[in-house]
Amino acid sequence: MHRVIPLSKRSWPESPPVEVMDAMKKYFGHSTFRPRQWEIVREVMNGGDVLAIMATGYGKSVCYQLPSLLRGDLTIVISPLLSLIEDQLKGLRLNKIRATCITGNTSQSEREGIEREITSRSVHFLYLTPEFVQNADFFLKRIAPYVSMVAIDEAHCVSQWGHDFRSSYRQLAKLKQLLHPVTFLAVTATATRNVADDIKESLGMRNAKEMRTNLNRENIFLEVKRGTRMIDDLTGLLKEDKKGRHFGGPTIIYCQTKEVVNEAKETLIRAGVRVASYHGGMTPTARSKTHDDFLSDRISTVVATIAFGMGIDKPDVRVVIHYGAPKNIESFYQEIGRAGRDGGDSRSIVYFTDAQITRNRSLVAGSVASLSEEYRLHSQQMGVHMEMYLTTLKCRRREILSHFDSLCSSSPKGGCCDNCDRLMLRSVNEETPDLEVSAEARAILNVIQRVYGGRFGGQKAIDYVRGMSKEEERKRRVPNDLKETFGVGKKRNELWWKDLVKQLRMKGFIQENKVQNGFGMVLSVSGEGVRWMNGKEKLLVSATAVQLKKRGSERASHSTPGVGGAWNGGSEKRLLGVTRIREWKSLSDSTPGVLPLAPLPTPQSMQHRLQLQEILFEIRNGLATKRDVAPFHIASNKVIEEIAAIVPSSVDSIASVSDWSEERRREFGPDFIEACTKFAAVTGMSMDTDKKSQWMLTDEQKKKLDQLPPTTVSTYRVHLQTGIKASELATMRNLAESTVCTHLSYCALAGLPLHLEALNISRDLREAVHEEIKNKVGRNIRYLKAIMECFPEGFVDYNKLKIVVNILEYEYGIEGEERGEGKGEMEKSQEKRERTIELPTSSTSNGPPAFKKKKMGL
């Protein structure tokens, strides 16, 4: 049978032509592609298979929808969940794009109708589940002539090495034969190198191009807390306003069991939160109601098991909480990826206990005991990465990205997690050097292997090296060389040795094995551990909080390797340059190219904007209810905020709103224009304010702004146009004041002008800080706390200080660093800043104790 719609013979150019950009604007409201998006689209339009590994919210749908919209042919989209399919269909249909689906619930007559639509070329997207594909060979053969591409969403489900393996996905390779010739585009947000190779092999995409975008979700702030009581942990995060009590926006709380889900739901109901639960013990109708209520903002919070993971497609989730230690790093990354898909500031918070980590390791050991050694080690390694994320004192973002071997364009930005925030407030004398533990490690490994033969847990080995009386009987029964090891570590306390055992386990030198026909875990030395133990290589570990307690005396002695350990390393300085190489100018200076075109808004006009914004949100919700879609399908939060800023009076004026498709603008724009017109008539508010923008940046400044994270750009634009105080800006952006000032400090480092008067930063303050940096801290700007301590209490706060320090860094540069003027200037400095960060990797207490230990309500 000949193909009715052959693959286009056109060779698409490296840069997107006008017709492509017109389609992007028409269907998606975008004026530009994100990095690698066009490269992916171009490759599949030229007939090549692609495996695209893209961060959640990066725009995967653009990559598999645009080709058929440009060519007018059919794309089959494989999606794992009906809820995802339904959400995507609603969005496509609002754009007047013909799309349909076939599931197990589709009747025979409905299938025949869909087939007629396909053969008449009146449908562009056909959504199928992998389970349907398994038994649909005849149907697929009949529609084969009309299909140009198969897009496989959540492609990590293909791989047995992935965290969410589904056997039905392994059968999708047959589509290559059934629909030949056809292009495959597999997309996922979570794929290590092994997973990526397995996906390509399993789907028959051996010659596929693998394209990775930056997996760093920099708008998600990462933090970890020790769990105490559920009521204290959860209610302590709540905020209250006219919408009631909530966590700062739409929130997902993941729990490990349905019992904990129900307990958390009841706790939050009593606290006055609009909340519902979602787990496998609920009926499909009840789960569907929770899903719809959350999408439609009838509830603010969902408490769920991981079953809620891939099924939610809500772009404005602000907070994801894991109440209990997640089991592995890949599913954790997928779950926190539900937050901030609209680019807005979001939070990931984990509450955990050591007992939960131990339980997770035990479950992994028990569940994979019958599988291959290779898969067992892989599963354990994913758990180790999760444990390292939870207990590290270094940057948590790096801990995630290192697992995926992410090809990020730059290092994660400072202030990305609780650990980095803590780092910024350190003094110079608070460095945490590495600890050499070669002798201690060989001693404990030797005891685990030869004294106890891999038949016991770690406690007995620790008691042996500490010379505890209860193990003296064991000492009498071992060879003489092992007798000498008894008590060799008595100068160290039990917690110190427990931390070392944990470090050796995470290093891969110790492996845990489930006790057969019993409970608990026994320790043995791995092959890698044996090789190291029998060699002469030294071992350095990043010290934990417990291991740091004797830091002073050990650093002073600089002891040679042996029992007791030796400190290594030091703190790399970041010295401010001596000579000013360029001048940073504020908006009050005569900055060329930054032109005030209209007076800054008054506090009253800013209040009017916020009031109008609330009215527009209400209109959006009403339109969504009428059409039985989620509010974000009508217009995103960003679109509503932009309309409130512009106050459009006509269709032409509202056309300047970005990220809003042509069809949505045509259908819903008049409702918003009418509301703006009525509001302006009552309040006297100016309309069409985009034509009277308060400030214009030069092209060079715009390029610098484009290099910054989207949420930082949003903060800067409001700051630029309003000139309001940081506290007022924080309220307007629904952010912490410290976050707003961090955003503005990034802008200062990029050389972008600020309203320093609004931030209460005078030239005298800038000069005073510069003098203290030169005279008191030896030009070392690595630690803000050290600079802060140079001033009397109350002279300057951290928010102002970090902006001033970044202004000085822009002007003077960093000694020994090459500072270019063009693209990447800020990134180069930030990468260097973070390469010098050295923090301990793990701690049994995860930093200074914040509260007494209590039983966690899990």
pLDDT value of residue 835: 31
Q: Which of 79-88, 569-578, 683-692 has the lowest mean pLDDT?
A: 569-578
- Which pair of structure tokens corresponds to residue 644? 């409130």
Q: How far apart are CA 640 and CA 701, in angstroms?
A: 26
**Mean pLDDT, range 300-306, rounded to an integer:** 93
The dihedral over CA atoms of 11, 15, 21, 24, expressed in degrees to the nearest 10, equals 80
Q: Judge whether residue 602 has pLDDT over 50.
A: yes
Residue 478: band (very low, low, confident or very high) from pLDDT cuts 50, 70, 90? confident
- DSSP assignment letter at 450: I
User: What does the alpha-carbon distance between residue 324 and residue 98 come to, in Å, rounded to a whole number?
Assistant: 43
Please state, in angstroms and rounded to a whole number, the distance separating the CA atoms of residues 473 and 483: 11
Tokens of 174: 């047959």
Report all structural domains of the chain as residue ranges with CATH numbers, in order of start: 18-212 (3.40.50.300), 220-424 (3.40.50.300), 434-568 (1.10.10.10), 601-693 (1.10.150.80), 696-830 (no CATH)
Candidate from 434-443, 570-579, 731-740, 841-850 with smallest mean pLDDT: 841-850
Omega cis (within 30) before 181 = yes
Q: Which of 15-29, 400-414, 575-589, 728-742 has the lowest mean pLDDT?
A: 400-414
Handedness of CA 702, 703, 704, 705 (dihedral sign): positive
Residue 445: band (very low, low, confident or very high) from pLDDT cuts 50, 70, 90: very high
pLDDT value of position 5: 40
- Cα–Cα distance, 282 to 219 (Å, whole number): 33
Whether the per-residue pLDDT at 660 is higher than 90: the answer is: yes
Structure tokens at 280: 């496998």
Percent of the chain with pLDDT over 70: 84
CA 752/CA 774 separation, integer angstroms: 24
Q: Is pLDDT at 519 greater than 80 in this prediction? A: no
* pLDDT tens digits along 117-130: 999 999 999 999 99
- Over residues 711-763, the pLDDT tens digits come to 888 889 888 878 889 998 888 887 889 889 999 999 999 999 999 999 999 99
Q: Residues, the chain, total?
A: 858
Closest to 390 measured CA to CA, from 346, 430, 358, 424:
358
Task: Give φ, ψ of 510 to 5 degrees.
Answer: -120, 135
**Per-residue CA distances from 603 to 54, 516, 550, 722 (Å):** 41, 70, 55, 9
Query: What would the pLDDT profile of 379-409 be if each residue is shown by its tens digit?
Result: 788 888 999 999 888 789 888 888 886 544 4
The H or E element spanning position 472 is helix 472-476
For 530-573, the pLDDT digits (tens) are: 999 999 999 988 778 787 765 544 443 333 333 344 434 444 67
Tokens of 720: 């630029």
d(CA 248, CA 246): 6
> How many angstroms separate the CA atoms of 134 and 521, rounded?
41
Structure-token pair, residue 289? 């109601």
How many beta carbons lie within 10 A of that of residue 527, not counting itself? 10
Q: How many other C-beta atoms lie within 10 A of the C-beta of residue 250?
A: 24
Number of other CB atoms surrounding residue 691 within 10 Å: 12
Of the chain, the percentage scoring pLDDT greater than 90 comes to 52
Rounded CA gap, 689 and 649, in Å?
10
Low-confidence winner among 328-342, 563-577, 640-654, 691-705 (lowest mean pLDDT): 563-577
Neighbour-count burial for 183-196, b at 16+ CB within 10 Å, e otherwise: bbbbbbbbbbeebb
Q: Taking residues 162-175, what's their average pLDDT? A: 85
* Alpha helical stretches, state H, 271-310: 284-295
Q: What is the pTM (predicted TM-score) of this model? A: 0.81
Q: Edge-to-edge strands of the sheet including 434-436?
A: 540-542, 434-436, 566-568
pLDDT at 554: 46
Q: Are 163 and 382 in contact (CB under 8 A)?
A: yes
